[in-house]
Amino acid sequence: MTALDTASTTSDVTTEAPRRRRSFSRERQRSIPLTILLWICVLYFVLPIWWLFVSSTKDNSSLFATFGLWFGGGFSLWDNLETLFTVRDGIFLRWMVNTLVYSVSAAVGATLLATMAGYAFAKYNFPGKKLLFSATLGAVMIPLTALALPTYLIFSQAGLTDTPWAVIIPSLVSPFGVYLMRVYAADAIDDSLVEAARVDGAGEFRIFAQVGLRLLGPGLVTVFLFSLVATWNNYFLPLIMLNSSDLYPITVGLAQLQSAASAGGGSQALFSTVITGSFVSILPLVVAFLFLQRYWQSGLASGGVKG
Amino acid sequence: MTHSPALSDERAPQPSGERHVNSAIRKQRLAAYLFLLPFFVVFVAMLVVPLAYAGYLSLFESKLIGGEVFAGFANYGRALTDPAFLGGLGRVALFFIVQVPIMLGLALFFALALDTARAHGSKAIRMLIYMPYAVPAVVATLMWGYLYGPDFGPIAQIARAVGFGTPDFLSPGSILGSMMNIVTWEFVGYNMIIMYAALRSIPAEMYEAAEIDGAGQFRLAWSVKIPAIRPAILLTVIFSIIGSFQLFAEPSLLNTIAPDAISNSFTPNYYAYNLAFINQELNYAAAIAFLLGIVIAVVSYVVQLGEERRERREMRMS
């Protein structure tokens, strides 16, 4: 298997680059009008986040008194952070940890299930394959929120509501992940490698673990990130499943803080806490995306084209 | 979204005759089923069973006397004549018809523009447009809620400074538009990335003929690039159908800052939630959820069918 190992460690991210076409004719003609137009458009996407950052450096009175898109009235980011992390005995940190735990375990599980299923669809022939795959594709179209209600009733009969499982288990199903992994595995894993491993006497599971998983790297990251974001951003499911605020993820927690702030009327001290909390809550995902972008892009490239 | 099955394991190791081959194939089939098993266990438990359960529940009515009573399709009859449900459905349909073309049009424009690599800082532009996708809908709605705000919202501040007065983004007449803006902001980048990834993997040969013809960028985009990524565009359309018909987080959060503009049946999903958890009308809520699922499936199916027809027509023509 040594030959296999070296062949498989050359990752797909690097093979993406040489395939790049069009170096042949257009030699980097840059267009100034297009550049200006695009950067103006970028403002639309960035300014709200900029506003969020600027506002999290203001205390409540300057929040209302100064211009929203620029700093003013002193720099109280640290005070805001201190309030944020100490309000209600530091429940904000707890929410962050909950979100992290829910979304990472759901994403790991969903990726594993989707990878195994996608690999089986791509690399094996068996009776019922077409039917099972059609069922999976059809399920992409079922709205998950329409399922949340009956799922809630089933979970409450099983006594699982208001536990982390109620958020994690429903998030394990990722039909789109199976679809992506099938398309990706069909491309990335050469049948001759699988055959060669079989001739070497490797069992099917060993082939999957040692040949398959290695070659599926970028696809894995793509599916992982999609499930991670889906669970991280989910609001409906945890909202109906969870009662105790100790178990809330950040989305439900922030919504609760916000409605307390709006209902409070006079006690507007909470607004700057909500804003600072919103800003802090988006940092982890933004950072994760920046670092992992080259992986998910090559993973998506194969999934998007072959519809 | 069809995929030709990969013809892979037709040839099993051959050395020791028929019986060995058969047992090898059996072994491989068993392995395939075992690989599929975990996914399909969760699939059945978390998708098929709840769906069936919602269908079952929707056929009952809960009465003060006698408890759960079989009611046939009474809940569906009620839903189809319920102005609150139909109004919500109309609202999300309008949302879909207006917002999705704008969002996908922008996404396609950005994807094509970035694919030409003619702008300075293309990579940074791509990342920055994509960034809102990492922002949860809850945070995006909270944030835009503040931005729209008539007091310290920067949009109102600027409008006042220029002399336009204070625009009211949260009035009943404008709230749907404001919501469209929030969703557009969140998802243009996501759709752009799907299209951009598809554009990047168009094989070079497809460009060569057009290059020799001396086709300009717009011709190239229109007659080579867009047709080549049609499956990816269809995928974004399907995701957008699902997304807009099941809007929930945006209306439910805007409700706290604009209670007059957002009724408890603003979108069907929000209505089903309020019915189930505030009014305790579980059976009726299940019928609404089920109907909503059917509407989404039908709309997605019609869109896909239309696309397939078009493909076939074009194949015949060429």
Tell me, yes or no, whether B151 lies in a domain: yes
The reply to whether B36 and B119 lie within a common domain is: no
Q: Are B311 and B298 in contact (CB under 8 A)?
A: no
Please compute the mean of the pLDDT values over residues A133-157 and round it to a whole number: 83
Verify that B198 and B51 share a domain, yes or no: no
Distance from CA of A183 to the nearest CA of B (A): 8
Question: What is chain B written as a DSSP string?
Answer: ---PPP--TT----TTHHHHHHHHHHHHHHHHHHHHHHHHHHHIIIIIHHHHHHHHHTTEEEETTTEEEE-TTHHHHHHHT-HHHHHHHHHHHHHHHHHHHHHHHHHHHHHHHHHTT-STTHHHHHHHHHGGGGS-HHHHHHHHHHHH-TTT-HHHHHHHHHT-----TTSTTTHHHHHHHHHHHHHHHHHHHHHHHHHHTS-THHHHHHHHHT--HHHHIIIIIHHHTHHHHHHHHHHHHHHHHT--HHHHHHHHH-TTT--TTSSHHHHHHHHHHTS--HHHHHHHHHHHHHHHHHHHHHHHHHHHHHHHHHHHH-
Q: Which residue of chain B comes nearest to A197, CA vs CA? A: B13
Q: Are residues B94 and B165 in the same domain?
A: yes
> Is residue B30 assigned to a domain?
yes
Closest CA of chain B from A110, distance in Å: 8
Can you tell me the distance from the alpha carbon of B233 to that of B112, in angstroms, rounded to the nearest whole number? Answer: 12
Helix (H) or strand (E) holding A189: none
Pair (B31, B117) in one structural domain = no
Residues of A within 8 A of B235 (CB-CB) are: 304, 307
Q: Which structural domains are found in chain A, ordered by start? A: 2-28+76-305 (1.10.3720.10), 31-75 (no CATH)
CATH of the domain at B182: 1.10.3720.10
CB-CB under 8 Å, A48 with B185: yes
Same domain, B141 and B279: yes
> Exposed (0-12), middle (13-18) or buried (19+): which is B81, by Cβ within 10 Å?
exposed
Global confidence as pTM: 0.84
Residue B128 and residue B52 in one domain: no
| B184 has pLDDT over 60 | yes
* pLDDT, position A267: 53
Render A15-73 in DSSP notation, one character per residue: HHTTT----SS------HHHHHHHHHHHHHHHHHHHHHHHHTTS-HHHHHHS-TTS--S
pLDDT band at residue B219 using 50, 70 and 90 as cut-offs: confident
Q: Which of A300, A302, A307 sits opposite B1 (nearest CB)?
A: A307
Which of A27, A30, A46, A149 to probe the B interface (max B CBs under 10 A)? A149
Q: Is pLDDT above 90 for A103? A: yes
Complex-level ipTM: 0.83
Q: Name the range with the highest mean pLDDT among A38-47, A50-59, B301-310.
A: A38-47
Q: State the average pLDDT over residues A286-301.
A: 70
Q: Is residue B43 part of a domain?
A: yes
Pair (B51, B88) in one structural domain? no
In a domain, B9, yes or no: no
Q: Which candidate in B36, B131, B260 is best for mutational testing of the A interface (most A CBs within 10 A)?
A: B36
Based on the domain organization, do B259 and B300 belong to the same domain? Answer: yes
pLDDT for A5 equals 33
The dihedral over CA atoms of B267, B273, B276, B282, expressed in degrees to the nearest 10, equals: 70
pLDDT level of residue B4 (50, 70, 90 thresholds): very low
**With contacts defined as CB-CB under 8 Å, which chain A residues touch B272?**
146, 149
* pLDDT at B1 (0 to 100): 41
The verdict on B35 and B105 lying in the same domain is no
How far apart CA B292 and CA A236 sit, in angstroms, is: 16
Average pLDDT taken over every residue of chain A: 81
Q: Which residues of B touch A303 (CB under 8 A)?
A: 197
Contact yes or no for A212/A120 (Cβ under 8 A): no
- B168, B148 in Cβ contact below 8 A? no
Whether B10 is in a domain gets the answer: no
**Which range has the top average pLDDT, A32-46, B146-160, B190-204, B295-309?**
A32-46
Most confident listed range (B19-23, B92-96, B305-309): B92-96
Contact B248 A235 (CB under 8 A): yes
Note the pLDDT tens digit of each residue in B223-240. 888 888 888 898 899 889
A261-279 pLDDT tens trace: 877 654 556 788 888 999 9
pLDDT higher than 70, residue B130:
yes
CB contact under 8 A, A68 and B277: no
- Co-location of B109 and B241 in the same domain: yes
pLDDT bucket at B67, cuts 50 / 70 / 90: confident
In a domain, residue B278? The reply is yes
pLDDT digits (tens, 9 = 90+) for A165-174: 999 999 999 8
pLDDT over 50 (residue B121)? yes
The answer to whether residue B289 sits within a structural domain is: yes
pLDDT (0 to 100) of residue A21: 45
Domain co-membership, B30 together with B111: no
**Residue of chain A with shortest Cα separation from B135:** A282
* Closest-approach residue (CA) in chain A for B156: A68
Residue B46, domain extent? 17-57
What chain A residue is nearest to B35 in terms of C-alpha separation? A116
Candidate from B47, B53, B296 with C-beta closest to A139: B47
Q: Find the residue in A nearest to B115 (Cα).
A: A22
Determine, for residues A45 and B33 on separate chains, whether the beta-carbon distance falls below 8 Å. no
| Count of structural domains within chain B | 2
Q: Do B26 and B175 fall into the same domain?
A: no
B140: pLDDT strictly greater than 90: yes
**pLDDT exceeds 70 at position A71:** yes
Q: Is residue B178 part of a domain?
A: yes
